[in-house]
């Protein structure tokens, strides 16, 4: 989870670059378009490199308390590139070896995750068994750390070199192609369907109902699948093509923004008879407009509140199904897959997806559908609270 979250900076920068390149392309500002394309190539288009580094870096400190994992991350990038077959390009009459960007982008994400995990564990094993060059205490830490990582780098690099050679003899041609064919593509076909997204949504909300942060527990498991689909959409948009995927991480985040709890806050403010919920609505409205709904989740509370269990668990799913169908039939444009910064207000969070229909969709989901879905359940709860307030007078 830490590794995937740490890619947020490059992903957002790459998303912005794609959005701007669309406008500069239409305005025929070629030099600026070229720069924006390069930014996209070395952010989103090179996401696998960042993930390879981060997976190892975040894993190692869990086992080696005095190691920040940076050297393991570097070895992981090295190993990933060793597994990446070189291509050939002709330039000024001669052939030049080049690294194809195919495996550096969305198609190489799962390879990068696996390489990062294997390298991280291998690095930990070598260090724990003392297979390192130990320098005298008088040697500066920077020099000592470099020599300490020398044997792990050579051993791990040699192992991945052998693996790369063996896979070059197979019909796949590379480890990346094998992982993409046998793991990433099948997982995407299963996890990248609307049915999988519905299941994820329900599981998340059930965990939330029991007081467990369902988003933090479930989302990291599907983020690689959904994020790779967003990367494919962004790549298509950068080439002037229609995004191939309806759903993705951006779709999920925009549609389930705030957990559709803004509608409940609005009902508390404008439809509540009880003083308790009216005051809670007033306190919760400002953060709710920015997608922060913890005040109402724990203030109502929604956790273990069986009066509101049905809408709390199912509202996101209903919104996802409606949005998917509207996108499928073409009423709402496909999301381009850009990732938005958390904390943007209603409408702005959807604006990065490239079309006004998506902004309208998010606003209608939050201001119309959400209050309607909460209303019958909330009115029952509000009447009970109002009755208790009257009896206590």
Range of the domain at 159: 2-169
Of the chain, the percentage scoring pLDDT greater than 70 comes to 100
Would 334 be classed as within a structural domain?
A: yes
Can you tell me the distance from the alpha carbon of 286 to that of 372, in angstroms, rounded to the nearest whole number? 20
* pLDDT of 342 above 80: no
Single residue among 169, 186, 219 that ends a domain in this structure = 169
Q: How much is the pLDDT for 285?
A: 92
On whether both 165 and 243 belong to a single domain, the answer is: no
Over residues 98-143, the pLDDT tens digits come to 888 889 988 888 899 999 999 999 999 999 988 888 777 777 777 7
On whether both 23 and 148 belong to a single domain, the answer is: yes
Q: How much is the pLDDT for 149?
A: 84
Asked if 338 and 236 count as a contact pair (C-beta separation under 8 A), the reply is no
Most confident of 84-93, 202-211, 220-229: 202-211
Would 315 be classed as within a structural domain?
A: yes
More confident residue, 83 or 133: 83
Single residue among 122, 137, 169 that ends a domain in this structure = 169
Over residues 131-149, the pLDDT tens digits come to 888 777 777 777 777 788 8
On whether both 276 and 146 belong to a single domain, the answer is: no
Would 229 be classed as within a structural domain?
A: no
- Count of structural domains within the chain: 2
Would 193 be classed as within a structural domain?
A: no
On whether both 132 and 279 belong to a single domain, the answer is: no
On whether both 263 and 385 belong to a single domain, the answer is: yes
Q: How much is the pLDDT for 132?
A: 82
- With tokens 């609307």, the residue in question is 194
Can you tell me the distance from the alpha carbon of 40 to that of 26, in angstroms, rounded to the nearest whole number? 17
State mean pLDDT over 165-177.
93
- Whole-prediction pTM value? 0.78
On whether both 375 and 251 belong to a single domain, the answer is: yes
Q: How much is the pLDDT for 76?
A: 97
Of the given ranges (73-87, 114-128, 232-246, 307-321), which has the lowest mean pLDDT? Answer: 232-246
State mean pLDDT over 27-51.
88
Would 32 be classed as within a structural domain?
A: yes
Asked if 259 and 275 count as a contact pair (C-beta separation under 8 A), the reply is no
Would 222 be classed as within a structural domain?
A: no
Q: How much is the pLDDT for 266?
A: 96
Confidence of residue 194 (pLDDT cuts 50, 70, 90): very high
On whether both 160 and 17 belong to a single domain, the answer is: yes
State mean pLDDT over 376-384.
94
On whether both 161 and 242 belong to a single domain, the answer is: no
On whether both 17 and 95 belong to a single domain, the answer is: yes
Q: How much is the pLDDT for 262?
A: 94
Please tell me what DSSP assigns to residue 314. H
Would 203 be classed as within a structural domain?
A: no
Alpha helix positions (H), the chain:
2-6, 8-26, 30-41, 47-59, 70-83, 109-128, 141-148, 150-168, 175-179, 185-191, 194-209, 214-238, 249-255, 262-270, 275-289, 294-299, 309-328, 348-351, 356-364, 370-391
Would 92 be classed as within a structural domain?
A: yes
Q: How much is the pLDDT for 93?
A: 65
Single residue among 169, 200, 227 that ends a domain in this structure = 169
Q: How much is the pLDDT for 333?
A: 95
On whether both 135 and 261 belong to a single domain, the answer is: no
On whether both 140 and 43 belong to a single domain, the answer is: yes
Q: How much is the pLDDT for 267?
A: 96
On whether both 46 and 133 belong to a single domain, the answer is: yes
Most confident of 34-43, 63-72, 227-236, 366-375: 366-375
């Amino acid at each position: 989870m830490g590794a995937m979250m740490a890619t947020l900076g490059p992903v957002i920068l790459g998303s912005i670059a794609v959005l701007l390149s669309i406008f500069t392309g239409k305005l025929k500002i070629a030099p600026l378009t070229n720069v924006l394309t390069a930014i996209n190539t070395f952010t989103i288009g090179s996401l696998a490199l960042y993930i390879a580094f981060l997976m190892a870096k975040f894993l190692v400190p869990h086992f080696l308390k005095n190691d920040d994992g940076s050297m393991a991350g570097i070895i992981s990038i090295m190993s990933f590139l060793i597994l990446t077959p070189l291509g050939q390009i002709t330039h000024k009459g001669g052939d030049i070896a080049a690294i194809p960007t195919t495996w550096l982008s969305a198609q190489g994400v799962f390879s990068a995750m696996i390489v990062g995990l294997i390298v991280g564990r291998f690095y930990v094993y070598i260090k724990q068994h003392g297979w390192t060059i130990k320098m005298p205490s008088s040697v500066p830490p920077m020099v000592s750390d470099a020599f300490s990582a020398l044997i792990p780098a050579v051993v791990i690099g040699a192992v991945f070199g052998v693996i790369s050679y063996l896979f070059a003899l197979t019909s796949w041609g590379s480890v990346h192609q094998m992982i993409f064919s046998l793991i990433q593509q099948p997982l995407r076909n299963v996890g990248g369907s609307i049915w999988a997204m519905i299941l994820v949504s329900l599981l998340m909300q059930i965990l939330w109902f029991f007081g467990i942060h369902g988003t933090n527990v479930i989302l990291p498991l599907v983020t690689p699948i959904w994020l790779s689909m967003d990367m494919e959409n962004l790549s298509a948009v950068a080439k002037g093509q229609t995004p191939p995927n309806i759903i993705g991480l951006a779709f999920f985040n925009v549609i389930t923004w705030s957990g559709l709890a803004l509608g409940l806050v609005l009902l508390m403010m404008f439809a509540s008879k009880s003083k308790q919920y009216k005051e809670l609505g007033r306190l919760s409205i400002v953060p709710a407009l920015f997608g922060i709904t913890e005040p109402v989740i724990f203030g109502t509370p929604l956790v273990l509140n069986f009066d509101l269990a049905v809408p709390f668990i199912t509202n996101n799913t209903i919104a996802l199904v409606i949005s998917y169908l509207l996108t499928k039939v073409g009423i709402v444009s496909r999301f381009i897959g850009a990732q938005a910064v958390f904390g943007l207000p209603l409408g702005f969070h959807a604006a990065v997806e490239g079309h006004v229909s998506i902004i309208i969709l998010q606003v209608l989901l939050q201001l119309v559908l959400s209050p309607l879905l909460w209303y019958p359940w909330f009115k029952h709860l509000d009447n009970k609270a109002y009755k208790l307030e009257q009896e206590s007078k």
